[in-house]
Amino acid sequence: MDEHISPVELQKAYRLINHGPTVLVSARHAGVDNVMAAAWACALDFAPPKLTVVLDKSSKTRELIERSGAFVIQVPTVAQLQLTNAVGTLSLQDVPDKLEKCSVELFGLEGHELPFVAGCSAWLACKLIPEPHNQQAYDLFIAEVVGAWADARVFRDGRWHFEDADPAWRSLHHVAGGHFYAIGEPLTAQEQVVTSASS
């Protein structure tokens, strides 16, 4: 495992995607690996941690998830802009060597028979909570997060440190048609002071 990859406490796993990044979704079944991009992923619960992600019926990754019951959500970086756009554009159905063409490097983490995408800033191993109606009617998948990790160069002490890291580590936020934004500068609201009214 990369020396910079550190476990994240499960109760803080939601912080890895709470800022609304485009994510990479990877899955494995019967010796087949695939990775796709998804713009609609959201934290759902704290204990146990859960998340949702929307996966189109036409995607091969969705098929692998439905068959295996597990997947990985990872947060790609600005340095992975082309990779992210490519895996979100090409389909394994049409391009059998998609991962090679998109320059995707996979690695494993102990205790999880899942394909993790190298170079990302965070990873969440997920166990599918089957909800056939939601999946069929809305393409909405719900999962429990069973493992979480982040690259300590950009996430440590339970929070992101984009302002201190190389800009290449910033997360991507998809708008449409291959157009993305990188996360911006941090802003901190002042604590609201409440004074009691005089009588």
Predicted pLDDT of residue 100: 95
Q: How far apart are CA 150 and CA 158, in angstroms?
A: 10
Predicted pLDDT of residue 90: 92
Q: Is the pLDDT of residue 60 over 80?
A: yes
Q: Read off the pTM.
A: 0.93
Q: How far apart are CA 187 and CA 193, in angstroms?
A: 18
Looking at residue 190, the DSSP 8-state letter turns out to be P
Cα distances (Å, whole numbers) of residue 65 to 3, 150, 151 = 29, 22, 25
Q: Where are the domains of the chain?
A: 5-182
pLDDT band (50, 70, 90) for residue 192: confident
Q: What is the mean pLDDT of the chain?
A: 94
Quick: pLDDT tens for 143-190. 999 999 999 999 999 999 999 999 999 999 999 989 999 999 888 898
Q: State percent of the chain over pLDDT 90.
A: 89
**Protein fold of 5-182:** Pnp Oxidase; Chain A (2.30.110)
Cα distances (Å, whole numbers) of residue 109 to 31, 117, 155 = 17, 11, 18
Q: Is the pLDDT of residue 198 over 80?
A: no
Q: Is the pLDDT of residue 11 over 70?
A: yes
Cα distances (Å, whole numbers) of residue 14 to 3, 47, 48, 88, 124 = 23, 10, 10, 23, 9
How buried is residue 120: exposed, middle or buried, by Cβ count under 10 Å (0-12/13-18/19+)? buried
